[in-house]
Structure 1
C-alpha cells in the first residue's frame, strides 16, 4: 500500500481532556458531525475539480481548491494559519523584510525571498537565524497538514487569499490520495468519493485504504505489457500496429472495464439486438464516438465499405455498453482485445 503516513487526529484531540467533560452529549455529537459535513463539502469541490470533460486536461497539482473550514483539513489549516501568524513569528519575518507571498515551510525549513529581491533564502532549525525560536508550533502543525512533504505556503492576512484555498495536490495528499496521472485514475477516485461520500479510511500504520494505490500498480503492469508488445513488433509498421490485438492481463480499471464492455458487446451481437450483423462471419467493433457498431468490409465478398449499425430501439444493455465506452474514451472490440493504439489512449486518459 503506497502513499505517505496520514494522521487521523483532529485539533480537538490535542485539547485538554477536562475541557470535553463540560459539554453535554448533544453538543459533543453535534461537534462530531461538523467534520463529516465539512468533508462532504470538500468532496463536492474535489468532484468538480477531478470530473473534467474528456477533451480537457486534468487539473494541475496547483489547482486552487476551496477547503471547508469544517472539514478535518480545514480545521488543521486554520491551526496552521494561526501558527504562521503568531506575533513573534511575524515580527521575526518583518525584521528580515521577507515577502510573505514567497514564504513556504518544507520539512521544518522556511524558504522565501526578501522584498524586491530574487534570491531565495532558507532558514533552518539549526542555523543562527533564530527560526527555531519562533517556529516550533508551526513546524509541528505543518508535519500533520503536509504528510507528503510537498511544502506549505504561507496562509494569512499578509497575502490575498480570501477564499482560503489550498493547492489540489496538498488537499489530496492530506487524505492519502496522489495527484491522478490519467483520466482513469481520476475516475476511480471520483467513483470512490461519490460512493462513500467520505474520504478513505486510514489503517493503523497511517496508510490510506484507497483503491487508487493498487490501481496505479496495475496500470504499471499495463504499461509494461504494452511496451513488451510494441518491442515485439520490431520495426514500426502502422498497419501491423493496427492489426495487432493486445489482451490486458492486469486488474486495472482499464482492463476490467474493457473485459466487461467486450462481453456486453458480444452478448448484444449474439442476441441479435443489432439487426443485420452476422457475428460468425463479420469483424466488428463498437465506435464510442458515433455510438454505433462498425462492421468492417469483407474483402473476400467484394465489400469495400464498412457499415454502421445500431438498434432500432436502444436496449438497456446497449446503453450500458455506451456508458462503459464513454467512460474509457475508447472503442470496444470483441474478446477484450483492443488494438495497441487504443490501449495507449486508454492508459494516457
Structure 2
C-alpha cells in the first residue's frame, strides 16, 4: 500500500469518527451551530486544520506578529483580512500582512469557503459545527425537520467525498414539498371551518390530519412505523392479550412518551398495553424497530400513518396559529419557497496530494526562515 493510499484510508477512518460526532451533536436537543466539536487529527478536516496551523507557525509570521504585539490566541482570518484585538490588517495596507497572507489564505479557502472566520488552531483541534458541516459540504440545519434530514444523510454516508450532491438536494426539496402540503391542509381546515360557520382555533390543527407523499425522511419514517404498528396489532399473540379483547379494532396508536400501545373500548374508555407486556411477545424485532422510528421522530404513531398539522408545524418550527387571520398569514409564509442549498465541497479537501504538497512547502519554508534568522538576514 502506497503512502498516499494509506493516508487516504486513515483519513476515511477519521471521517467516520467525525460523522459520528456530528450525528450525536445534531441529535442533542439544545445543540447550537456555534458549539465547537473536537476534530479527530486523522480526519480530512483535521489534516487541513493542522496544515493551517503550520501556516501560522512559520517563523516569519511569528516574528511579524511579535513586532505587531499581537496575541495569536485572538487572531481571526476572514475574507483575506486578519482581525485581532481591535486591529485589522488588510491586503492593501502597509503592514506586510499581504506578504505573509497568500499561503494562509490558500488553506483558509479550503477550510472556510464561506469566510465564516478562522481562529488560530489551539493545542486541541476543534471548530464550530457550522464550520465542520460546511467543510464537508452540508448546510447548517435550522429546524427539527432539517436536522433529522441531515442526520439521516450522515447515517447512510459511506464517504463524505463519494456522495453525489443530488440525493441531499432532493431530500431538502422533499421537505419543501412537505411545507406546501401543510399550506394546503391549513387552507382546507379554514374552508371546512367557514362552511360549518365555526371559528378557527388551535383544535383545528390537531383535528386536521394528512399523509405526506413527498418521500421525505419524515414521510418514509412515518410510513414504516405505521406498517410496523399494523403488523404488531395484527399479530395473533397480540390479539390474544386480555386487554385487546375490549379494544375497538383499528384505533390503536403507539404512544412515544410511554412506549406503549393505546386504544379505546366501545364506550370510549382509554385502554393501554404496556411495554412490559409487548416486550414478551415474539415480534421478531418489530417492536424495537417501531420504538427506534418513534423515538427518532419524537412522535406517536397512528395506524393510518397520518400526521396532524400541529405535529408538522412543530417539526418545521413554525408557530401554531390560533385564529383564522394567523392561519392565513402562515399560509402566505409557507407558499413562499424556502429552498436549502447544498454547498459544494472544495476539490482539494479530499486530496492527499494537496495536503502533502502544503506540508512539504511549509516544512521547507520553516527551515529557510530559521536559517535566515540564524544568519541574521
TM-score, structure 1 as length reference: 0.74
Q: 1:296 to 1:124 in 2, by over 3 A?
A: farther
Structure 1: 5+ residue stretches without partners: 1-24, 114-119, 156-160, 203-207
Matched, 1:62 2:26: no
Which residue of 70, 82, 86 maps to 1:110? Answer: 82
Q: 1:248 to 1:294 in 2, by over 3 A?
A: same
Per-residue CA distance 1:303-348 (angstroms, 9 max, x = gap)? 2421113646251333322222122110112222122122234445
Q: Is the 8 A contact 1:288 1:329 kept in 2?
A: yes
Q: Which residue matches 1:92?
A: 64
Q: Which residue matches 1:249?
A: 213
Q: Which residue matches 2:135?
A: 174
> How many equivalent residue pairs?
301
In 2, the alpha carbon distance for the partners of 1:288 and 1:240 equals 22
Q: Which residue matches 2:88?
A: 122
| CA apart distance, 1:153 | 1.3
Q: Which residue matches 2:21?
A: 45
Q: Give SS of 2:238's match.
A: coil
Matched, 1:225 2:181: yes
Per-residue CA distance 1:209-238 (angstroms, 9 max, x = gap)? 374433223223223322443354345423
Please tell me the root mean square deviation across aligned C-alpha atoms, in Å.
3.0
Q: Which residue matches 1:284?
A: 252
In 2, the alpha carbon distance for the partners of 1:214 and 1:99 equals 45
| CA apart distance, 1:184 | 5.2
Q: Give SS of 1:336's match.
A: coil
Q: Is the 8 A contact 1:219 1:347 kept in 2?
A: no
Matched, 1:324 2:293: yes
| CA apart distance, 1:136 | 0.9
| CA apart distance, 1:280 | 7.4
Matched, 1:141 2:140: no
Structure 2: 5+ residue stretches without partners: 191-198, 319-377
Per-residue CA distance 1:26-46 (angstroms, 9 max, x = gap)? 545434433233323433433
Q: Which residue matches 1:265?
A: 229
Larger RCO, structure (CA 8 Å, separation 6 or more) = 2
